[in-house]
Amino acid sequence: MKGFALCMAAVFLMGNTVYAAEKTEIKEKTAIPVHQTVVWDGTETKMPGYNIDGYTYFRLRDVAKMVSAYTADEKSYFDLDYQKETNTISIVTGKGKYMDPAREKVFDVGTEEKKAFLADTTVVVDRLRGLTDKGIGEGYVIDGYNFYKLGRIVGALGMQMNWCKEENVVEIVSLPKWDPNEPVVYRKPVIYLYPEKTMDVSVKLDYAGDLTVTYPTYQDGWQVTAQPDGTLTNHADGLEYSYLFWEGNGQLDVDFSEGFVIKGEDTAAFLQKTLSDMGLTPKEYNDFIVYWLPYMQDNAYNLISFQQENYTQQAKLDIQPAPDSVLRVFMAFRPLEKPVEVTPQKLQPFERNGFTVVEWGGTEVK
What confidence score (pLDDT) does residue 160 get?
A: 75
CB 183 within 8 A of CB 363: no
Neighbouring C-beta atoms of residue 263, cutoff 10 Å? 15
Closest CA to 317 of 202, 215, 230, 228: 202
Lowest mean pLDDT of 38-47, 119-128, 200-209, 324-333, name the range. 119-128
According to the per-residue pLDDT averaged within each range, which of 141-150, 159-168, 181-190 is highest? 141-150
What string of DSSP letters covers 54-82?
TEEEEEHHHHHHHHHHH-S-GGG-EEEEE
Give 286's Cβ-side CA count (13 Å radius).
3
- Give 3-24 pLDDT, tens digit per residue: 433 343 333 333 333 344 444 4
What confidence score (pLDDT) does residue 104 get?
A: 64
3-class SS at 154? Answer: helix
What confidence score (pLDDT) does residue 27 get?
A: 67
What confidence score (pLDDT) does residue 71 get?
A: 86
pLDDT band at 135 (very low <50, low <70, confident <90, very high): low
Please tell me the distance from the alpha carbon of residue 310 to that of residue 157, in angstroms, as a whole number.
Answer: 19
> What's the whole-number mean pLDDT along residues 78-106?
82
> What's the whole-number mean pLDDT along residues 183-206?
92
According to the per-residue pLDDT averaged within each range, which of 102-111, 151-160, 304-313, 344-353 is highest? 344-353
CB 267 within 8 A of CB 329: no
pLDDT band at 103 (very low <50, low <70, confident <90, very high): low
Domain boundaries, the chain: 4-173, 184-364
CB 285 within 8 A of CB 162: no
**What length is written for the chain?**
366
3-class SS at 180? Answer: coil
Residue 158 or residue 250, greater confidence:
250
Please tell me the distance from the alpha carbon of residue 25 to that of residue 39, in angstroms, as a whole number.
Answer: 36
65 has pLDDT over 60: yes
3-class SS at 134? Answer: coil
% of the chain with per-residue pLDDT over 70: 86
According to the per-residue pLDDT averaged within each range, which of 10-14, 81-85, 160-164 is highest? 81-85
Average pLDDT, the chain: 84
Neighbouring C-beta atoms of residue 265, cutoff 10 Å? 13
Residue 114 or residue 5, greater confidence:
114
What confidence score (pLDDT) does residue 316 get?
A: 93
177 has pLDDT over 60: no
% of the chain with per-residue pLDDT over 90: 51
- Give 290-344 pLDDT, tens digit per residue: 999 999 999 999 999 999 888 888 899 999 999 999 999 999 999 988 887 788 9
pLDDT band at 72 (very low <50, low <70, confident <90, very high): confident
What confidence score (pLDDT) does residue 22 get?
A: 43
What confidence score (pLDDT) does residue 362 get?
A: 94
Closest CA to 186 of 284, 297, 71, 311: 311
What confidence score (pLDDT) does residue 24 get?
A: 44
CB 336 within 8 A of CB 160: yes
Amino acid at 241: Y
132 has pLDDT over 50: no
Q: What are the phi and psi torsion angles at 292 (to 5°)?
A: -90, -25
Please tell me the distance from the alpha carbon of residue 276 to that of residue 243, in angstroms, as a whole number.
Answer: 19
What string of DSSP letters covers 253-320?
----SEEEEEEGGGHHHHHHHHHHHHT--HHHHHHHHHHHHHHHTTSSEEEEEE-THHHHHHEEEEEE
What confidence score (pLDDT) does residue 221 get?
A: 95
CB 215 within 8 A of CB 245: yes
How remote is the C-alpha of 266 from its chain's centroid? 19
Please tell me the distance from the alpha carbon of residue 103 to that of residue 105, in angstroms, as a whole number.
Answer: 7
Neighbouring C-beta atoms of residue 93, cutoff 10 Å? 21
Give 97's Cβ-side CA count (13 Å radius).
8
What confidence score (pLDDT) does residue 175 get?
A: 58
CB 185 within 8 A of CB 314: no
What confidence score (pLDDT) does residue 347 get?
A: 93
What string of DSSP letters covers 196-251?
SS-EEEEEEEEESSEEEEEES--SSSEEEEE-TTS-EEETTT--EESSEEEEEEE-
